Structure 1
Amino acid sequence: MAVAELEQLELNVQGMTCESCALHVEKALEKVEGVRGVRVPGWESGRAEVTAASNVTDEELASAVRDAGYRAQIERRKPLESRSAGNGRADGGYDLMVIGGGSAGFAAAIKGAELGFNVALVEAGTIGGTCVNVGCVPSKTLIRAMEQFHLAGEQRFRGVRTTAGHLMWPQVVDQKDKLVSEMRQSKYADVLAAYPEITYIKGRARLTGDNGVQINGESFTPNKIVIATGAHPWAPPIPGLRAAGYLTSTMVMELRELPDSLIVLGGNAVGLELAQTFARAGTYVTLVELLPRIAPFEDEDISAALTGYLEGEGMRVITGFETKKVEKRGERFYLTGSHAGEEVVLDAEQLLVATGRRPNTADMGLEEAGVRLERRGEVLVNDRLQTENPDVYAAGDVLGEDMFVYVAAYGGILAAENALVSAGRVYDTSTIPRVTFTDPQIASAGLTEDQAREEEYEVQVSTLPMAQVPRALAAHDTRGLIKLVVDGTTNRLLGAHILAPEAGEIIQTAVLAMRFGITVEQLRETMFPYLTNVEGIKLAALGLEKDVALLSCCAG
């Protein structure tokens, strides 16, 4: 659709009383055929801003709002502010250039194509970005494989005898690599063929000022630019570390021979997942974390419980460890550090550094083009993902926080819509679900108990051991807990924190409750299927007013 066919409309909306109302209005308007973008700037505003095709009638919009339980009147509509070019520019150039071919980049490019614009997608490395190539897909494949291997050696049920047998690690790695290759082809390379509006350019892009870009010596002037170049593993400046060498999360998953011992430096999500994976494969793993606890950004109860489970599997966990230097002597790595006021020396055959990631923004000419970078190289954006250069937007890991593939995709779509049709969508990450794929998994969203108290909410907390969940009892696996943090004033969820097998399959119920303002009372009144782990959400909600141990099955 050409820009000339789009209009900007402003609606007066009556009946909104909370943020959930604003979301309901947004969703109702987004469902109208021909609507390209919707923004409700807070329920208090009583307004909705819509970008829509010119053939969308006032009545269609008003009716959609009315069906959602509110009232709307169109106050003004005008043609979308024209740009120097839209889809089909006379000079054959691009309306949008997306730099980075990962999740955020593909989402932005596809959205631009869906809106009818000419898009260039630029990638310097391997198509697909972090997740499919060196992140989510390969790591979760190895995690699940080693979970199966571990379970084969468990004896949870009487009369069932299984043994782990011999692990053929190279075959596990081969299968992982095959899946990565297949998904890279089917979910990225093949997808491009479905969008003739997208031109794929292989090369390294550098901004040259305003909206200028240079790639492989050729100059381009796209109307808008989205930076989606992702991030890379980062290692702290520990004396001797660079000289000694070390494994990154990418490199460790490429090992075709299991090390006898492994030190993992970093006790957050990536370090935890890979540490347990290799421990279950038979490697003696020492997990080292600088902060006082592993999973340091999760609820403290979650961190404490997970520590016990990992140690129970034979891992050594050391927190509050400050690494002073790293050496390699012969075929072994030696870490010297301080712990509890004493000098400690750790040694292992291999060293994995999993201390976080940093955005890929170096040598791109960003600051020269008016794009401001923060201390760690992250791109500074406003709540519409626009940089200080009005023609440049950014999305994904390059923002330096919330480095999840689904957040990147969400940001890519939003950035493209805001850049191309001035949709005015606000980047909202207040209810992001987070999952760490240990076993049991960590899944959380919203505020922890400590964070809620710091923000001076009237906090109520319910903590339910998984031993109170019938599904866990039937599975003979009662590891973990479910913790709900509630605003005692509104009776709404502020946060949910779960440690349980497949916790990632449970958390979305709590996310929906937080996003749409569902109260704890409404959760309690909702029917949850019996003998499912997600029933634990309801039981935890009941735990705010009852002793769950005194209830019969399904009784509320």
Structure 2
Amino acid sequence: MTHLKITGMTCDSCAVHVKDALEKVPGVRSAVVSYPKGTAQIAAEPGTSPDALTGAVAGLGYRAMLAEAPPAEKRGSLLDKAFGWLGRGEKSAGEGCGLRIAVIGSGGAAMAAALKAVEQGAEVTLIERGTIGGTCVNVGCVPSKIMIRAAHIAHLRRASPFDGGIQATPPAILRERLLAQQQGRVDELRHAKYEGILASTPAITVLRGEACFQNGHTLSVRLAEGGEREVAFDRCLIATGASPAVPPIPGLKDTPYWTSNEALASNILPKRLAVIGSSVVAVELAQAFARLGSQVTILARSTLFFREDPAIGEAVTAAFRVEDITVLEHTQASQVAYANGEFVLTTGHGEIRADQLLIATGRAPNTRELALEAAGVTVNAQGAIVIDNGMRTTAQHIYAAGDCTDQPQFVYVAAAAGTRAAINMTGGDAALDLSAVPAVVFTDPQVATVGYSEAEAHHDGIETDSRLLTLDNVPRALANFDTRGFIKLVAEAGSDRLIGVQAVAPEAGELIQTAALAIRARMTVQELADHLFPYLTMVEGLKLAAQTFAKDVTQLSCCAG
């Protein structure tokens, strides 16, 4: 009797498929396969190839290895033969094993997981309490980048480095029309990438309502049209995203403040806009509103981008002040009041008055209404679900992905996590490597980072060697007459291996992926410096920055290798 240890099976029907495949191997008389035990017992003719047995299992997408026989087994017993004869009479249950997967949410992580699970043969029930598509397409990435782009065009018509030869014309901003254009594209993408796909995928059942756990294998869904429904599952993915966090400032909750959701959907451009926040959403929307005509004041409790390399915050702050955006560093509102259409913010530096107030102090995971304790799912102090690199929670058979977890809050991370969660829920073994995640902030100049900053490396005990190249050394920036910003490379001391890049540049988002690939490939700065980069491009700045580790680039000719 030959014994195999099999991983990847997710149900009894999977075991039937494995049994059928094994019994087709020449020399195999019978096979007994157990899904709960993850084993196969094979009665075969002498000389039957073990590689043929493991190969037959691998051909189905599972993993198999030879295992020792259980101590109590009596080889060749009548009981073994009986099991083999009985097993021959079982019939296949069809592709995909009929695994029931519940997905809570419909954003990037949820959709990626649902589609991958269906591809793996599962039946999916997707539950959404709000608008299909989640944050990114509806109230996040897509509408914000449309607004930012429109504001950029307005800014260029008002002022550019070429105004000496191209007459500037202050634009008339028709916010209602811009908003209609923005919302039209949002609706188009939501239908094409979410609603239409769900409607055309029969293996996905969509329930509109709010889900919470009854236990580790059952959800209760309060349906939007009324009533409740129980959803039993073999596996579940939590992908409920996050919502704008609101700080407990006295008086704030009694005012008509904006979060990013209201700011992006408003057809009004306030004359005076105050922004509380100092990171991605705060700075992106602050600059967009300023370029569309608002007088903007940012209140930062520390500095802009205080968690990043200090050079980033300094460069963005300088660029904002040139555009008459007021940046108040080390400033917090201790009280907010609203009367007669005006906000009054009390700070340690006096009162700030504005027609509208935008709160952009981060996003909080949407986990409080899920009754996670009923399923044994653990969250951290911020309410984010704790997961491993396979997206498994602390509860068996329950996974999580996206902004509701303790992973970086980027939609591309969420989608990648959702795909890997689905692979693992259907018997695979996939992990998400977050060692080189590129990030972009769509200000002007843009901010882009990947890997370690110097401070992060030192925190982890890594000695560094770093270089910062200002953009007045980059030919593309000189040709654009726009040398705002820098490119900084962080290398591991001794090995000179590139471990981090920070950039502030008008097209920083277009160069950071090259940096991410270089880090993932474990390149040294010299190897990066030796590569060919097209001239004139902003990404050539990476090569030039790498060359500064060994040369004075101010003494090089153009495109010098």
Q: Please indicate the TM-score interval, normalised by the length of the shorter structure.
A: 0.7 to 0.9
Q: What pairs with 1:148-547 in structure 2 (closer than 5 Å)?
A: 148-157=153-162, 158-215=164-221, 216=223, 217-291=228-302, 293-338=303-348, 343-421=349-427, 423-547=428-552
Q: Which moved more, 1:250-259 or 1:347-356?
A: 250-259
Separation in structure 2 between the aligned mates of residue 298 and residue 487 of structure 1, nearest angstrom: 18
Q: How many residues align?
A: 485
Distance across 2 between alignment mates of 1:478 and 1:333: 37
Matched letter for residue 194 of structure 2: Y
Residues 247, 353 of structure 1: 8 Å contact kept: yes
Q: Distance in 2 between matches of 1:412 and 1:265?
A: 32
Distance 2:285 2:178 in 1: 15
Deviation, structure 1 residue 89: 8.8
For 2:155, the aligned partner's letter is H
The answer to whether the 8 Å contact 2:18/2:60 transfers is no
Aligned to 2:28: none
Map of 1:113 onto structure 2: 118
Q: By how many angstroms is 1:53 displaced?
A: 7.8
Tell whether the 8 Å contact from 1:86 to 1:95 is kept in structure 2 after alignment. Answer: no
Deviation at 1:456? 3.0
SS at match of 1:256: coil
Segment of structure 1 superposing worse, 149-158 or 184-193? 149-158
Structure 2 unpaired stretches of 5+:
1-8, 20-53, 69-91
Aligned equivalent of 2:136: 131
In structure 1, what is the Cα distance between the partners aligned to 2:190 and 2:467? 42
Confirm or deny: 8 A CA contact 1:87 1:95 kept in the other structure.
Answer: no
Q: Structure 1 residues 179-188 or 372-381, which shifts more?
A: 372-381
Deviations 1:327-377 (A, max 9, x none): 112111011122xxxx42111000000001111112212112111122221
Give the secondary structure class of the aligned counterpart of 1:246.
coil
Residue correspondence of structure 1 range 32-111 to structure 2 within 5 A: 54=57, 56=59, 76=66, 95-111=100-116
Q: TM-score, normalised by structure 2?
A: 0.83
Structure 2 SS opposite 1:203: strand
* Secondary structure of residue in 1 paired with 2:368: coil
d(CA) in 2 for partners of 1:477, 1:301: 18
SS at match of 2:426: helix
> CA-atom RMSD, angstroms?
2.3
Amino acid at match of 1:213: L
> Greater CA radius of gyration, 1 or 2?
2
The amino acid that maps onto 1:56 is G
Cα distance in 2 for partners of 1:400, 1:354 equals 19
Q: Cα deviation per residue 1:171-204 (whole Å; 9 max; x = unaligned)?
A: 1111001010000000111112443222222111
Change (3 A) 1:53 1:489: farther
Matched residue, 1:31: none
What residue identity is the alignment partner of 1:167? I
Between the aligned partners of 1:368 and 1:86, the Cα distance in structure 2 is 32
Query: Is residue 155–residue 161 contact of structure 1 (8 Å, CA) maintained in 2?
Result: no
Task: Report if aligned partners of 2:386, 2:406 keep a CA contact under 8 Å in 1.
Answer: no
TM-superposition CA deviations, 1:291-331 (whole Å, max 9, x none)? 2x101222111110110000100000011112211111211
Give ranges in structure 1 of 5+ residues lacking alignment: 8-50, 62-73, 79-84
Does the Cα contact within 8 Å between 2:271 and 2:294 map onto a contact in 1?
Answer: yes
User: In 2, distance between residues paired with 1:328 and 1:172?
Assistant: 28
Aligned to 1:23: none
Moved over 6 A (4+): 85-90
CA distance in 2, matches of 1:285, 1:547: 40
Distance across 1 between alignment mates of 2:283 and 2:442: 8
C-alpha deviation, 1:515, in angstroms? 1.3
Pair 1:89–1:137, CA change in 2 (3 A): closer
Residues of 2 paired with 1:407 and 1:315: CA distance?
32
Residue in structure 1 matched with residue 81 of structure 2 by the alignment: none
CA shift for structure 1 position 76: 4.5
